[in-house]
Amino acid sequence: MTDDTRIAVKPNVLAGTHVDASKREAMVAAARDEPDVFWKHESRRVAWMREPTRIKNTSFTGDVSIRWYEDGELNASVSCLDRHLAERGDQVAIIWEGDDPNNDAKVTYRELHERVCRLANVLRKLEVKKGDRVTIYLPMVVEAAVAMLACARVGAIHSVVFGGFSAESLASRIQDCESTLLITADEGRRGGRRVPLKTNADEALKSSPTIRNVVVARVTGGEVPMQEGRDHWWDDLCRDVEPSCEPERMNAEDPLFILYTSGSTGKPKGVLHTTGGYMVWASFTHELVFDYRPGEVYWCTADVGWVTGHSYIVYGPLANGATSLMFEGVPSWPDNSRFWQVIDKHQVNIFYTAPTAIRALMRDGEEPVKRTSRKSLRILGSVGEPINPEAWLWYYRVVGDERCAVVDTWWQTETGGLMIAPLPGAVELKPGSATLPLPGVQPALLDNDGNTLTGPAEGNLVITDSWPGQMRTVFRDHQRFIQTYFSTFPGVYVTGDGARRDEDGYYWITGRVDDVINVSGHRMGTAEIESALVAHPKVAEAAVVGMPHDIKGQGIYAYVTLNAGEEPTEALRKELVTWVRKEIGPFAAPDAIQWAPGLPKTRSGKIMRRILRKIAANEVDGLGDTSTLADPTVVGDLIDNRVG
């Protein structure tokens, strides 16, 4: 595969495409040269209670201040619900497909509006006020979208915690933002198994004193303990309130949500998104990149616990009046044809998933795909990690029958929405490349000294000016925001990713340049896994790096030094894996643990991760300079005892 491999999208897929190549060029120029005019125009995508007159007011230097539409007022739930009622109240807003293939449901915009209003009234009754934080710990059920929108309606800031996180991870996320209310469920369902959400929540609540009320959705009907006065069943509460609810007037810069995400150091950061700019960006990118047309069925397979679920299951599609499919299950259950069966069952037109899922399904060959029709499909999206050209081509050929555009979308929790991605019909595709920046996105590549690279080059991917969906701050820690994103290279937003730009200006994301790893699209800081490991009483020290993994993209490789006198046994290895699952969540379980009597450190005590990454990847010939190590002999021992 070379950079010249180009794929032009078949015209029949694109009849009536919103944006063609020349329109795209014009949009890119307008957004760059006259951002106030361009983004004033695009602001019409959301329903304002007070139209903004001040559009862009941003600075990437000094104290870093990002404000968009700052005198506008709106409520995100009105943009997603109320304003659709007249025109498409009876259109399906959410198709819910259960873990069990015989279990599904359709919720119209009118029904969704009523469910959101009822829960919003419940929140008000439980004294949740504008600016309060509400933590949401739910499986992939319609209630998750209802809960997010109900928070938005009363002006509460939601913090969704992925249902795969452990009690400990949930507790630390509640503590950091001091939520006063938790919304959870009895249990979740995934791949035929049950996930004990309420039990985990109860465990977390032992160390979460700020929570006054817990609203529990009945999902499986499983028996769970309810604490009198604190825990309430969702259905009981919603029965006794009005089906309509006055939305809170929010300033465009009032917070909409917090989403915790991993960085290279410290505990996860509370990424804060505000209302106006985020909603415009979610709507704009969803319509352009997925070429969304009224009446189409759109399916994003992400979990609402990640940013992709926020922007591309809930806010973007609903702002655009789309029919958004929400899937409770997994691609491999009851069998590995499930995705394609769901596509046929609900006549899905646009499908958006992660490379890790594609790679896992590829392994099972074409038959599970080919036994389904998939005729309804028009656009295929990819997100979460770099997609290798082989997986891209399989997606294009086998899933899309060479008929559908594949849109590889690069973005981050911090960016709120898609940043680098093709507009189908306007941009020719290259397998493995996220292609070109969207209108309003100004990427650049810098070398390690901060010099801007021109033409074809590889370097640190930065964004030189603000876009409406950008995160505004780290919740209650603006200094950390500045430090993390604007200090390595002053004056630009540092993404933490590396990228290559080819002769045609196409971007090829090469992966993280920091200590963040991406396992099956789950983003984790190596520091988080290390601190979980050293919390074990037998562990003295740990260093975690990513290693290449065929399906997951990256696997977790941990070097562990035990306390003096502890025996490195197989049983202890298993115990440590279980320990990390419990501390963080099942997805953070190490794939390999190597016992390391010593770690390669510089004389100042800094672990040389470059070396550990090479050993984990079994690239021991190119270890580079090890002369600055305090004790170079540890390297030989580590190489000899490599695992796997």
Q: Which residues bind ligand 6R9 (CB under 6 A)?
A: 261, 306-308, 382-386, 408-413, 434, 495-497, 509, 511-512, 518, 523
Nearer to ligand 6R9, 137 or 493 (CB): 493
Shortest gap between Cβ of 523 and ligand 6R9 (angstroms)? 4
Say whether 536 counts as a known binding-site residue.
Answer: yes
- CA–CA separation, 319 and 280 (whole Å): 9
Shortest gap between Cβ of 311 and ligand 6R9 (angstroms)? 8
Phi, psi of 359 (to 5 degrees): -65, -40
Nearer to ligand 6R9, 155 or 521 (CB): 521
Query: Hey, what amino acid is at 105?
Result: A
Residues 6+ apart with CB under 8 A from 26: none
- CA–CA separation, 576 and 591 (whole Å): 11
Say whether 265 counts as a known binding-site residue.
Answer: no
Say whether 308 counts as a known binding-site residue.
Answer: yes
Say whether 409 counts as a known binding-site residue.
Answer: yes
Residues 6+ apart with CB under 8 A from 207: 171, 175
Say whether 497 counts as a known binding-site residue.
Answer: yes
Shortest gap between Cβ of 52 and ligand 6R9 (angstroms)? 27
Say whether 309 counts as a known binding-site residue.
Answer: no
Say whether 609 counts as a known binding-site residue.
Answer: no
Say whether 218 counts as a known binding-site residue.
Answer: no
Shortest gap between Cβ of 600 and ligand 6R9 (angstroms)? 25
User: In the chain, what are the helix, strand and coil shares in percent, each to the nearest 5?
Assistant: 35, 25, 40
User: For ligand 6R9, which residue has the nearest CB?
Assistant: 413
Nearer to ligand 6R9, 415 or 466 (CB): 415
- CA–CA separation, 329 and 99 (whole Å): 4
- CA–CA separation, 557 and 524 (whole Å): 13
Say whether 193 counts as a known binding-site residue.
Answer: yes
Respond yes or no on whether the N-terminal peptide bond of residue 334 is cis (omega within 30° of 0): yes
Nearer to ligand 6R9, 251 or 356 (CB): 356
Nearer to ligand 6R9, 177 or 307 (CB): 307
Burial class for 8, CB neighbours closer than 10 Å (0-12, 13-18, 19+): exposed
Phi, psi of 541 (to 5 degrees): -155, 150
Token look-up 């396992």 returns 519
DSSP, residue by residue, 413-481: GGGSS--B-PPTTTS-B-TT--BSBPTT--EEEE-TT-PEE-SSEEEEEEE-S--TT---EETT-HHHH
Nearer to ligand 6R9, 121 or 518 (CB): 518
DSSP 10: P
Token look-up 């209650």 returns 476
Shortest gap between Cβ of 468 and ligand 6R9 (angstroms)? 17
Nearer to ligand 6R9, 320 or 495 (CB): 495
Contact status, residue 163 vs residue 138, Cβ threshold 8 Å: yes
Query: Hey, what amino acid is at 85?
Result: L
Shortest gap between Cβ of 162 and ligand 6R9 (angstroms)? 10
Nearer to ligand 6R9, 386 or 600 (CB): 386
3-state secondary structure (DSSP) of residue 319: helix
Shortest gap between Cβ of 385 and ligand 6R9 (angstroms)? 5
Shortest gap between Cβ of 421 and ligand 6R9 (angstroms)? 8
Shortest gap between Cβ of 481 and ligand 6R9 (angstroms)? 15
Task: Single out the residue of 155, 151, 226, 153 nearest to residue 181, CA to CA.
Answer: 151
Nearer to ligand 6R9, 251 or 413 (CB): 413
DSSP 376: T
Nearer to ligand 6R9, 53 or 448 (CB): 448
Say whether 310 counts as a known binding-site residue.
Answer: no
Say whether 519 counts as a known binding-site residue.
Answer: no
Paired tokens of 310: 């926020």
- CA–CA separation, 279 and 285 (whole Å): 10
- CA–CA separation, 303 and 283 (whole Å): 19
Respond yes or no on whether the N-terminal peptide bond of residue 456 is cis (omega within 30° of 0): no
Task: Single out the residue of 29, 22, 20, 26 nearest to residue 426, CA to CA.
Answer: 20
Say whether 385 counts as a known binding-site residue.
Answer: yes
Shortest gap between Cβ of 461 and ligand 6R9 (angstroms)? 9
Token look-up 């209108």 returns 439
Say whether 633 counts as a known binding-site residue.
Answer: no
Say whether 413 counts as a known binding-site residue.
Answer: yes
Nearer to ligand 6R9, 360 or 463 (CB): 463
Phi, psi of 37 (to 5 degrees): -70, -45
Phi, psi of 465 (to 5 degrees): -145, 165
Shortest gap between Cβ of 170 and ligand 6R9 (angstroms)? 18
Binding residues for Mg(2+): 534, 536, 539
Binding residues for ATP: 384-386, 408-413, 497, 512, 523
Binding residues: 190-193, 308, 384-386, 408-413, 497, 512, 520, 523, 534, 536, 539, 581
Binding residues for CoA: 190-193, 308, 520, 581
